[in-house]
Each structure stands twice: as C-alpha cells, then as structure tokens.
A and B are shown apart, each in its own frame.
Chain A
C-alpha cells in the first residue's frame, strides 16, 4: 500500500497499524504526535488504527526552538 508520510510517498508491503509503523521506523510513540488524514490521532488509538492505501500521515515531534 502507498502512504504519504510527512509529504512523501512511501510504499509498504504489509498491512499495519500506526503502532506497527512507528515500531518499524524505530520511533518511540511518546515522542511523536500523529496526524492521520489531517486529524490528530490520539495515542491510545495507535494500536487500533489500521493504515490503508492512500492515507496521509504527519509525524511531528518537539525540536529546539526559540
């Protein structure tokens, strides 16, 4: 399935939940905020939300700033 992640298209072979995507990418869940199709996804929905072809995901984290 093809997903748009942070504005870039990426293809994945298997189906997966949001939680699995994070695990796959080595990103710890408590460090990110996720927007799925322009809606903020609450953390307790990570393992319950199946990603499907065409989904757009934004992964946002805190960084240094003034």
Chain B
C-alpha cells in the first residue's frame, strides 16, 4: 500500500487540510470529511474571556484526525517556540507545523527564524513540519537538523496561483530524504495533482476549500486530484522526447560505425 509516512506514522491520505477561513464550523467539518484527510491544522489564539467561543475542538474528532497545531502569528523564532510549547501543553501529540511569518502582506516564511526555531523544537522532542520558502539548500539544512518533513510553498498563502515555485520544488523533491509536502497557494485540484505528479509526498490546502461556495464538493475534488496525481506519478510519467540532432551516433564506435 502506498502510504505517507511521517515520523514513523503511516497515513493513507496525502491531502492535509487547514481549518481556517471557513464561513462556519459546518462548512469546515464537511470539507474535512469529503477531503479524506487524516491530518488537519489548527492555530492558537487568545480566548476572549468576555465572550469565549465554542472551541474548534468540539467539532474535530481527534480520534479520526491528527491535530497539527501551527505557529501562525509568530514573527520570530522566539514567538514560534513559545506557541509550539503552548500547543504541546494542550496535551496532544508533539507535532507542530512551524510557521514564522513576519511579513503580514504575503505571509511569506522567514527562512532564518524558521531554521532557528526548528533547531530548538527538534531538540525539545517536537515532530517539526516546517513551512518554508521553496529553497533547496534550506530544505537540506532543515532535514539535516532533524525536521520530520519540509513544506515548501507553492505560491504565497491564499493566492490560489498553483505551483509557481515548481522548478525549485522539483529540486527539493529530487534531493530530499524526508517527505516533501507542498503547502500554500494551491487553488485548484489540478494544482494539487501537478504537485503530486512531480513527486511531492503530500499537499496542504486551506484557502481553496474555505473560499468557495461548496467546500464539501471542492474538498472531494481535491481528494481526487491528489489521488490522480499520485497514481500518475507511481505509474511513471513520460518525458517529452526531444529529437536528438547528433551528427553521428555517440555509440557508433561500439559497432565500428
């Protein structure tokens, strides 16, 4: 069975789902269910003590989904580490999606702070899944210090532009010894399929599912896109044959030509 393995744990689904930006909890739950996902991300925020909300946890069956807290909001390593420790104190698995985004316009990840935070968190025993720029050298450096995966962005968060960073992601996939999860910017099932066809191990999608009239249907479409892409990758995608223009055959000498 073709399973996704992260930190020794196996998953059948290669589609991770974010829980942000949905119009309602019902929409969120419907999207999760139709996505077939087994890993969902959540964020950490202050409780409004005067008006405490219904906790998101009452809508997520944590027996069914692995809860992956993120450190969204962190602008530097220190804030990210603090959020990670808070998340861990909530008594879940010590898995953390590390996000350090000092720039509020594009929410692009800070490579230096991400690396710093990852180093600390790995030492503290976290299973670290770092959101990062599509930088092949950074990917190897994070792998080297012990992150469980790398999560290079396809395009800036929420832009729905697809795998804009495809050339660098291809290099990351080629060189990685740990799972590569393409995160951010995937706006259509075809984008998710493209990432999977390239050999990505999984994708994470949020905005595309939340910002649509029918989250359940879109989640199902993404599910199929991810599965199709993965199957195509495993079946072996062809390379475009370029006609060689060798003036004489390169191996002719073997046949005394």
Contact = CB atoms under 8 A, between A and B. Distances in A.
A60 B69 CA distance: 12
A64 B42 contact: yes
Interface in A17-55: 25-28, 31-33, 35, 40, 42-43
Given A66-B70, A66-B204, A60 B44 contact: yes
Contacts of A26: 52
Given A62-B42, A64-B22, A64-B43, A25 B49 contact: yes
A66 B20 contact: yes
B46 A58 contact: yes
Given A6-B47, A40-B89, A43-B91, A27 B18 contact: no
B94 to A, nearest CB: 13
Nearest to B183: A66
Given A28-B55, A66-B72, A59 B42 contact: no
B67 A62 contact: yes
Interface residues of B, number: 37
B141 interface: no
Nearest to A8: B49
Interface string B75-104: 000000000011101110000000000000
A40 B43 CA distance: 17
Contacts of B35: none
Nearest to B19: A64
A61 interface: yes
Contacts of A1: none
A31 B56 CA distance: 9
A5 B86 contact: no
Contact of A62 (B55, B85, B207): B55
B150 interface: no
B45 A60 contact: yes
A35 B83 CA distance: 11
Contact of B86 (A31, A35, A65, A66): A35
B21 interface: yes
Contacts of B87: 33, 62
Interface of B: 18-22, 28, 41-50, 52-53, 55-58, 67, 69-70, 72, 85-87, 89-91, 157, 184, 204, 206-207
Interface of A: 5-7, 10, 25-28, 31-33, 35, 40, 42-43, 58-66
